[in-house]
């Protein structure tokens, strides 16, 4: 099982490439994996029947006792067959549904297969926390699938609506799961059910878990997202909204009901909302004219019925509930796929536009009738077996005086009437010959016969409803182990004399008459509402209106909040941060019982020299009237730290600090180009006394925090062992570098994420309409020989091109001649041309030497970034394109991918994330060679840092240059 789950994680990554090669036929290959999962589950059937439950586990997060554990009992076995079996058929169906289409098809195939894998893990996992993870994965993947037609506003809205509703329910469920896990002392589902904890905390946890389950399964008041999700392609509707995703909530209810149904809050929530949802969905299905929406609201209704039966929590109801779950997966997915065939062939799903299709497509009409018969509950389908069993089980409860049994029987009986009504309406709308208002027969809709392969999936699913009906005795034997985990009856209700069993015929019992009456009354309801065109809404507002109103209120509140807090004043923002800092830290300092301080006048003589300079520079910066002067003075404090680090035995920190200060100074300089050099009166400081007081308060508070914090330690710091750990675990002598990429690799991973976010944020502020740097690409797209020979550039109607071989001197920098003459320096171009490659070599040396000597990926990346800064300063934006002919996002993404891979790969070998491996060997010529895999992590850091610097140069440099160039052209100023 774990192997199959791993395959579901890997194979979808290959599908986009496969689809790009062979098109829609790739769905055949994609179907192989769910078929393998189906066959594996089918082969385990004898083991499951024997009660020897297959179980596999892998200690994933041992410190939290969270395991990737897979357990296949009866319920999981059935859900696995449904998820993989229906999934395989839907993927085969996709081959024909998407024939001739390629746009975004690779992504769709990958996401659909990944969704099948997430559902596979969800129904098999025995860890409740892992179940929540799979739960949220299905929400995200369903969002991508529903929004497949991303150019349509309706699809985007429907996808977002489904994501928000199910994710909100999932977050509430997460809180309930945490409470239940803490109360039970374990996250194992089987152990929680075996111990069955009780109490007020457990009741609260169950309510929260039910919120998640009901939102996922589209139960009122969360039902509105499912009909909206019909904007998705029909295969998505057939799989996610009939057989898989909406069954996740039903599965969770079925998993907990046998044990927790007797809890006080359980049945009032499950039965009341389930019955109401069944009636609401059935009534709305009778009002729809779109075949897909008829099925959508029918699905909402059927999910309500499943919630009532499987959530009731008695043995007989549980037995019938599994049969009902199987039947619904078969008939509803078959009917959705039939609608897909009709829509694909006729480009319409409106039942008022269809006439005479049944006579032209008798095979499709036949198996559609079989599927509807199973939905309505007609013998000999599995739907009849399930509905009769459910009615019989709930009738026993009602006759025994159970209040919720009475509500359930009444609700399901009335809901079955509506089910029969909209089931007949579907068949009439899709296949019948219609007549106009005058009674004349409408002309038949022209029906082009679909390929036979298009009909295989719905034909198989429909046929299985008959096969399962005749196999009812065998299903009874298979489902009984699950049913036996539930109590025989509700406490206080007499136990039925004869235990229920699944069969095609139980005799002329009350449940049979109720079922027959519902079918007859459903036919009458259809006849009375066949030409009904009711108003769009019966009530002043709907659940969808409440959802949209909530979003509008949130949007307006966010606007008001943003207007109050985001005033556009940097001093206000910084001042707010400083006030909070002083208030919080001063409170903590004053609340301390004891202060200890161990102060030295200085540790090295250099501090006596550097500290006054840093203080003086800070004071002078306050009085500076030119922006650049202020920036340089502020940088003095950073350069002073370089001297302090260098004389305190921290060469790595000194090297990194001077590089950071240099890059920061360059970034400031790039920004200041577009700002007036002098600070005018409108930029003068307001409330100077208040600012001075706040600044002094921050300085004093920070000093006190540093003094108290450094003197408050009572235990030996773990950093004392870092030199030994760096050598023994990281196989390196540079403690700082080994700590960054090995001992504290997770911290570095977080810092890389922050760098990527910072680069993306800066670029987003500058690149207004698009993210691509088209000007730099103009030079990077030139032939390599043009760059190598440094031929000058000329402006042509087709863009910027290198000058021909004849005439003209060679340029030191290929983009240099595009710089304005007054800003150009030939000496700088010559120096940059000579030093650039040497600096890149130095950066690579720092990268690979950093494990044992000063350096590392961060320092090496900054050095390489400085080389790019030199190329840009000397030759402008075109030269930057020649120096780095790639997108900064690719460097950022590649670096982060390498770092994440270094964290994830060890997990597959049974080790902790970010575990390093060490190899050494004696090689000819090279001698003794050592290699640590953390070097790969350092390479990821190196690429991310280069990507950050390049992104800053492309946005604050090249893009700002381009905007200034356009502004001068619009102003009529001559530009080179």
Spatial distance between the Cα atoms of 117 and 138, rounded to a whole number of angstroms: 9
C-beta neighbour count of 56 within 10 angstroms:
16
Give residue-wise pLDDT tens across range 118-146.
999 999 999 999 999 999 999 999 999 99
Query: Could you report the per-residue pLDDT of 182-197, keeping only the tens digit for each?
Result: 999 888 999 999 998 9
Q: Can you count the helices (H) and strands (E) in the chain?
A: 38, 8
Check: CB of residue 445 under 8 Å from CB of residue 354. yes
Lowest-confidence region among 802-806, 887-891, 945-949: 802-806
Among 23-27, 242-246, 759-763, which range has the highest average pLDDT? 23-27
Locate 666 and state its tokens.
Answer: 């360059």
| Separation of alpha carbons 132 and 252, rounded Å | 11
Assign 344 a pLDDT band (cuts: 50, 70, 90). Answer: confident
- Average pLDDT, stretch 76-89? 94
Given a cut of 70, whether residue 924 has pLDDT beyond it is yes
Higher pLDDT, 925 or 869: 869
pLDDT above 80 (res 244) = yes
pLDDT mean over 289-304: 92
The two structure tokens encoding residue 686: 């307001």
Q: How many CB atoms lie within 10 A of CB 782?
A: 19
Per the CB < 8 A criterion, the answer to whether 296 and 230 are in contact is: yes
Compute the distance between CA of residue 211 and CA of residue 168 in angstroms, rounded to an integer. Answer: 9
Average pLDDT over residues 437-450: 80
The residue-averaged pLDDT of 962-972 equals 70
pLDDT recorded at residue 793:
57
Average pLDDT of the chain? 85
Dihedral-angle region of residue 568 (phi above 0 means left; psi in -120 to 50 means alpha; beta otherwise): left
Per-residue pLDDT of 671-719, as tens digits, reads 787 777 676 555 556 777 888 899 899 989 998 888 887 777 777 877 7
Q: 206, 223, 204, 205: which is closest to 214 by C-alpha?
A: 223
Cα 350–chain centre separation: 34
User: β-strands 799-802, 793-796: how paired?
Assistant: antiparallel
**DSSP label at residue 283:** H
CA distance 287 to 294: 8
Query: Hey, is 739 helix, strand or coil?
Result: helix
Mean pLDDT in residue range 434-455: 81
What is d(CA 370, CA 426) in angstroms, rounded to the nearest whole number? 13
Q: Is 325 exposed, middle or buried (0-12, 13-18, 19+ CB in 10 A)?
A: buried
Q: Is the predicted pLDDT of residue 76 greater than 90, yes or no?
A: yes
Omega prior to 98 cis, within 30 of 0: no
The DSSP H or E segment spanning 922 is strand 918-923
Which segments of 530-650 does DSSP mark as H helices, in order?
A: 543-565, 570-591, 605-623, 627-646
Most confident among 485-499, 790-804, 857-871 (mean pLDDT): 857-871
Picking from 454, 434, 453, the residue whose alpha carbon sits closest to that of residue 444 is 434
CA–CA gap between residue 779 and residue 800 (Å, rounded): 7
Which string of DSSP letters, residue by residue, matches 52-66? ---EE--EEEGGGTE
- Asked if 54 contacts 140 with a C-beta cutoff of 8 angstroms, the reply is no
**pLDDT band at residue 737 using 50, 70 and 90 as cut-offs:** confident
In the predicted model, is pLDDT for residue 790 greater than 70?
A: no
**Rounded distance, CA 747 to CA 856, Å?**
16
pLDDT digits (tens, 9 = 90+) for 939-966: 999 999 998 888 888 887 777 777 776 7
- This prediction's pTM: 0.74
Q: What's the rounded mean pLDDT across residues 811-830?
A: 72
Residue 542: phi, psi to the nearest 5? -120, 175
- pLDDT digits 0-9 by tens, 611-635: 899 889 888 887 777 888 888 888 8
> Is residue 104 scored above 90 in pLDDT?
no
- Mean per-residue pLDDT for 630-647? 87
Strand partners, 71: 55
Check if the beta carbon of residue 898 is closer than 8 Å to that of residue 936.
Answer: yes
Could you please report the per-residue DSSP string of 112-146? HHHHHHHHHHHHHB-BHHHHHHHHHHHHHHHHHHH
Rounded mean pLDDT of 298-318? 93
Task: Reply yes or no on whether the pLDDT at 317 is more than 60.
Answer: yes
**Could you give the C-alpha distances from 488 to 53, 303, 321, 484, 838, in angstroms and in order?**
23, 24, 15, 8, 82
Do 603 and 611 contact (CB within 8 A), yes or no?
Answer: no
- Tell me the C-alpha to C-alpha distance, in Å, between residue 447 and each of 359, 368, 436, 675: 10, 16, 20, 68
Provide the token pair at 506: 């139980």
Q: Which residue has the higher pLDDT, 467 or 539?
A: 467
Using 50, 70 and 90 to split pLDDT, how confident is the model at 973?
low
pLDDT of residue 676: 72
Token pair, residue 916, equals: 């390093």
Q: Are strands 70-71 and 793-796 parallel, antiparallel or unpaired?
A: unpaired
Alpha helix locations (H) across 432-542? 452-470, 472-483, 510-529
Predicted local distance difference test score (pLDDT) of residue 80: 95
573-604 pLDDT tens trace: 888 899 999 999 888 888 777 777 777 777 88
């Amino acid at each position: 099982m774990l192997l199959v789950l791993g395959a579901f994680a890997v194979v979808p990554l290959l599908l986009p490439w496969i689809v790009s090669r062979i098109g829609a036929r790739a769905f055949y290959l994609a179907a192989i994996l769910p078929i393998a999962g189906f066959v594996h589950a089918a082969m385990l059937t004898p083991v499951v029947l024997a009660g020897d439950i297959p179980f596999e586990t892998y200690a994933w997060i041992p410190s939290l006792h969270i395991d990737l554990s897979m357990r296949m009992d009866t319920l999981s076995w059935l859900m696995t067959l449904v998820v993989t079996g229906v999934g395989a058929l839907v993927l085969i169906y996709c081959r024909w549904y998407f024939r001739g289409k390629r746009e975004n098809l690779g992504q769709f195939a990958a996401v659909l297969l990944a969704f099948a894998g997430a559902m596979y893990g969800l129904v098999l996992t025995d860890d409740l926390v892992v179940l929540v993870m799979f739960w949220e994965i299905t929400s995200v993947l369903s969002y991508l699938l529903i929004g497949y037609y991303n150019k349509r506003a309706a699809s985007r809205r429907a996808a977002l609506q489904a994501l928000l509703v199910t994710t909100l329910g999932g977050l509430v469920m997460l809180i309930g799961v945490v409470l239940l896990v803490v109360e039970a002392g374990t996250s194992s589902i089987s152990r929680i059910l075996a111990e069955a904890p009780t109490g007020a905390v457990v009741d609260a946890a169950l309510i929260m878990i039910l919120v998640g389950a009901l939102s996922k399964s589209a139960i009122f008041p969360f039902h509105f997202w499912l009909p909206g999700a019909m904007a998705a392609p029909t295969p998505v509707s057939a799989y996610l909204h009939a057989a898989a995703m909406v069954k996740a909530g039903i599965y969770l209810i079925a998993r907990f009901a046998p044990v927790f149904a007797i809890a006080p809050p359980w049945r009032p929530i499950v039965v009341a909302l389930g019955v109401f949802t069944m009636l609401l969905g059935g009534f709305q299905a009778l009002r729809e004219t779109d075949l897909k929406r008829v099925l959508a609201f029918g699905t909402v209704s059927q999910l309500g019925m499943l919630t009532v039966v499987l959530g009731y929590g008695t043995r007989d109801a549980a037995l019938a509930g599994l049969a009902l779950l199987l039947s619904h997966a078969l008939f509803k997915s078959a009917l959705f796929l039939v609608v897909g065939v009709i829509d694909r062939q006729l480009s319409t799903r409106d039942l008022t536009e269809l006439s005479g299709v049944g006579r032209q497509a008798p095979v499709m009409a036949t198996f559609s009738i079989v599927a509807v018969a199973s939905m309505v509950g007609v013998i000999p389908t599995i739907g009849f077996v399930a509905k009769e069993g459910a009615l019989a089980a709930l009738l026993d409860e009602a006759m025994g005086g159970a209040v919720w049994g009475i509500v359930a029987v009444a609700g399901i009986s009335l809901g079955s009437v509506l089910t029969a009504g909209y089931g007949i309406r579907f068949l009439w709308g899709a296949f019948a010959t219609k007549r106009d208002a005058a009674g004349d027969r409408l002309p038949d809709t022209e029906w082009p016969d679909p390929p036979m392969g298009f009909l295989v999936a719905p034909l198989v699913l429909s046929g299985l409803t008959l096969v399962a009906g005749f196999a009812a005795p065998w299903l009874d034997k298979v489902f009984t182990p699950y049913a036996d985990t539930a109590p025989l009856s509700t406490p206080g209700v007499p136990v039925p004399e004869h235990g229920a069993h699944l069969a095609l015929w139980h005799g002329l019992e009350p449940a049979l008459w109720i079922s027959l009456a519902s079918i007859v009354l459903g036919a009458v309801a259809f006849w009375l509402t066949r030409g009904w065109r009711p108003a769009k809404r019966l009530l002043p507002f709907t659940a969808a209106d409440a959802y949209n109103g909530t979003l509008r209120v949130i949007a307006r509140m966010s606007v008001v909040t943003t207007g109050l807090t985001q005033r556009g004043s940097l001093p206000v923002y910084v001042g707010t941060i400083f006030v909070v800092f002083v208030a919080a830290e001063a409170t903590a300092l004053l609340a301390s019982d004891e202060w200890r301080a161990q102060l030295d006048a200085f540790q090295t003589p250099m501090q006596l020299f550097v500290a006054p300079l840093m203080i003086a520079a800070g004071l002078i910066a306050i009085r500076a009237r030119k922006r650049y002067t202020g920036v340089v003075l502020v940088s003095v404090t950073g350069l002073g730290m370089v001297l302090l680090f260098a004389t305190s035995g921290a060469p790595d920190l000194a090297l990194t600090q001077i590089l950071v200060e240099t890059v920061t100074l360059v970034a400031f300089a790039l920004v200041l180009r577009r700002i007036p050099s002098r600070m005018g009166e409108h930029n003068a400081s307001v409330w100077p006394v208040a600012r001075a007081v706040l600044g002094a308060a921050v300085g004093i508070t920070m000093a006190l925090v540093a003094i108290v914090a450094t003197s408050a330690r009572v235990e030996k710091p773990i950093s004392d062992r870092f030199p030994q750990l760096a050598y023994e675990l990281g196989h390196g002598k540079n403690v700082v570098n080994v700590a960054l990429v090995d001992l504290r690799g997770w911290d570095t991973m977080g810092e890389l994420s922050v760098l990527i976010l910072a680069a993306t944020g800066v670029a987003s502020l500058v690149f207004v309409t698009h993210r691509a740097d088209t000007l730099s690409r103009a030079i990077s797209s030139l032939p390599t020989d043009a760059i190598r020979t440094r031929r000058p550039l000329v402006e042509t109607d087709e863009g910027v091109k290198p000058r021909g071989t004849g005439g003209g001197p060679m340029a030191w920098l290929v983009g240099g001649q595009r710089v304005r003459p007054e800003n150009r320096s030939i000496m700088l171009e010559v120096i940059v041309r000579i030093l650039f490659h040497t600096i890149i070599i130095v950066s690579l040396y720092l990268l690979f030497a950093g494990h044992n000597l000063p350096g590392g990926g961060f320092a090496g990346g900054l050095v390489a970034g400085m080389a790019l800064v030199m190329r840009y300063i000397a030759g402008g934006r075109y030269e930057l394109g020649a120096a780095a002919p790639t997108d900064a996002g690719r460097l950022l993404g590649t670096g982060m991918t390498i770092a994440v891979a270094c964290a994830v790969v060890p997990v597959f070998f049974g080790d902790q994330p970010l575990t390093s491996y060490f190899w050494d060997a004696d090689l000819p010529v090279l001698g003794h060679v050592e290699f640590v895999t953390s070097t790969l992590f350092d390479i990821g850091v190196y690429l991310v840092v280069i990507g950050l610097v390049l992104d800053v140069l492309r946005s604050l440099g090249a893009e700002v240059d381009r905007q200034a160039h356009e502004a001068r052209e619009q102003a009529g100023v001559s530009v080179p």
